[in-house]
A and B are shown apart, each in its own frame.
Chain A
Amino acid sequence: MPIVKLLSEHFGNGQAKELDWYRKQGGYEGARKALIEMQPQQVIDEVIQSDLRGLGGAGFPTGRKWNFVPQDTGKPIYLTANADESEPGTFKDRYILEWDPHRLLEGIIICAYAVGIHTAYIYIRGEYVRPAEILQEAIDEAYREGVLGERVLGQKFQLDVYLHRGAGAYICGEETGLLESLEGKKGWPRLKPPFPAVVGLFGCPTVVNNVETLSHLPKILLNGAAWFADIGCEHNGGTRLFALSGNVNRPGVYELPLGTSMRELIYEHGGGIVGDKALKAVIPGGASSAVLTEEELDVTLDFDSLMKAGSMLGSGAVIVMDRDVCMVKASQNIMRFFSHESCGQCTPCREGTDWVYRILTRIVEGNGIKDDIGHLTELGENMTGTSICPLCDGSVMSFSSYVQKFRSEFEYHIHHKQCDVEAGQC
């Protein structure tokens, strides 16, 4: 696949944070074109035709989401840019925030103009202190230079952008948890419908989009929907930033067209497995996605292919595990995260994630009992589709996939009271 840099062209370049420099590279021209030459609905149609999909995890078509926002309620409409980035394995939005904050701000202007929004909040996870500082500087500079504020880019369009820091809670990345948190409450997700597009922040229609999704907008507007759609694959427009980590030689962020093969990402771009060991498993889209085995590596990285493969592209976080990684312990690690981060609102999630974690722990510690695999399967069934937000289902997708695909490792642990990896049995 050819290297196309739509989002990552400025990564590593310390100057790109400066408004002046960004502008010299053609920055804010996409927004200018939208504001001056296009009607809001034309912008939405362009984004629909570009096949841009939500890169926060769910892959929902971005333009279609904007079309759901009612324009006749008489209430203000809000935008919240989701910079919570907390799905284990995910670190791509951080690169945009640290290296290219104006690209995000330009995307925000385009979305705001298209949907009729005059106030946008960027919700950034509390741990991202340095990225927040960089972003705040960019916002301040944009105000000083008339890029934001009363007359955006000198046009008759007003937009305020505010940075809002989270305080350490994974669930605030879920869009309705985020809205609750922004309203000054604990981040308990809301029942949907109503969807945020209709009843969102402060009871008003609200667009929630991921940082990377929004950052794609400037080039889509500048170069056109067809250009963008052509870069990706069917119904998956453009590129995305893959965050590659685990046992690879070159962990990092790689921008690739949607539809690139997993094998290419890991072996060509990531430099293969450390020490040339055999690969055992790959998590393709953050901790909530189902694990893939080595035989499944030819899957292509796009929303539809991974769904067909029984997993998901999710947040684009690809985590590689070599043959020495114990799958029972990997699953235990992930379930510790989910049980810690369950907001506690739904019983199946609050109790279930913790229960699964405890079963996995006793298996790891050599205290597993014969029925434990059955217990895990049953828990997975009871936890599916019974809770308010997708955290619970995501946790099931995760642990069930380890049990199914690496069942023999679980059985070895239970029967031999020790780890087959440590015992050299796999």
Chain B
Amino acid sequence: MSSSFEFTAENQERFQQILSRYPQKRAAMLPALHLSHEQQGYISPEVEEYVAKLLEVPLVDVHEVLTFYSLYFQRPMGRHHLRLCMSISCWIRGCDEMRDHLRAKLGVESGSITENGTFSWEAVPDCLGACELAPMMQLDKDYHGPLTAEKLDEILEATSPNHSSRNSAPEVPPTSKGRNSAPEAPPT
């Protein structure tokens, strides 16, 4: 898997734009890692070397940053990645059952990829900032909740390869949309 890495022409342009926002090159570290992550799906050692060169910082600095943050993958993950929130409000509303259901359904432990490579998932201890949807999860870019076992199944099915191709959005509308609206006008 060790092939060299560089930004696509388009990403090189985006990166130059990003650089112009900061008085110090190093500040473009997280954006550069995000861009690489988007391009390749994970951060390989080759990406680390590439970013270190681009930003003119020691390789170890890139590695230190990469490993400090939780959103960068260091190996390829499933075509769709799922994060189940296990923090306090989701726990109160039953995320433990959702975790068990998900584990049984996908047949792999948290942090792993399903056999066919469609999904990877993790149960995360951090609140994802959508506790009104508890229990909730993030599937790729979108938030879904409140989850039940049935709803989870529906979402997974709508996202699986028969229904949607790589990188395309799941066909179910993000559940959060409906619930995102302002709370009903409370009585005065």
Contact = CB atoms under 8 A, between A and B. Distances in A.
B58 interface: no
A390 B70 CA distance: 21
Interface stretch (B2-10, B106-114, B147-155, B176-184): B176-184
Nearest to B89: A245
Nearest to A172: B69
Interface centre among B24, B88, B181 (most CB of A within 10 A): B88
Interface of B: 21, 23-24, 26-31, 33-34, 55, 57, 61, 64-65, 68-72, 83, 86-89, 91-93, 125-132, 134, 138, 141-143, 179-188
Interface in A87-101: 87-91, 93-95, 98-99
5 contacts: A12-B180, A89-B89, A170-B126, A185-B65, A287-B87
A283 B183 contact: no
Nearest to B130: A91
Contacts of A253: 132, 182-183
Given A98-B180, A164-B31, A186-B65, A319 B131 contact: yes
Contacts of A186: 64-65, 68-69
Nearest to A182: B27
Contacts of B28: 184
A252 interface: yes
4 smallest beta-carbon distances between A and B, as pairs = A184-B29, A168-B70, A167-B69, A186-B68
A85 B141 CA distance: 17
Interface in A120-172: 125-130, 160, 162, 164-170
Interface in A159-197: 160, 162, 164-170, 181-187
A252 B64 contact: no
A268 B186 contact: yes
A96 B89 CA distance: 21
A85 B126 contact: no
B176 to A, nearest CB: 9
Given A126-B69, A251-B134, 17 more contacts: A12-B180, A85-B129, A87-B127, A88-B89, A88-B131, A90-B127, A99-B182, A128-B129, A166-B30, A166-B69, A183-B27, A184-B24, A184-B30, A184-B55, A245-B132, A250-B184, A321-B92
A344 to B, nearest CB: 9
Interface residues of A, number: 67
A85 to B, nearest CB: 5
A389 B180 CA distance: 33
A164 B181 contact: no
B27 A86 contact: no
Contacts of B87: 88-89, 287, 333, 337
Interface centre among B29, B143, B186 (most CB of A within 10 A): B186
A325 B92 contact: yes
A251 B186 contact: no
A319 B132 contact: no
A79 B184 CA distance: 35
A186 B72 CA distance: 13
A243 B132 contact: yes
Given A86-B126, A184-B65, A254-B186, A243 B131 contact: yes
Contacts of A160: 21
A333 B182 contact: no
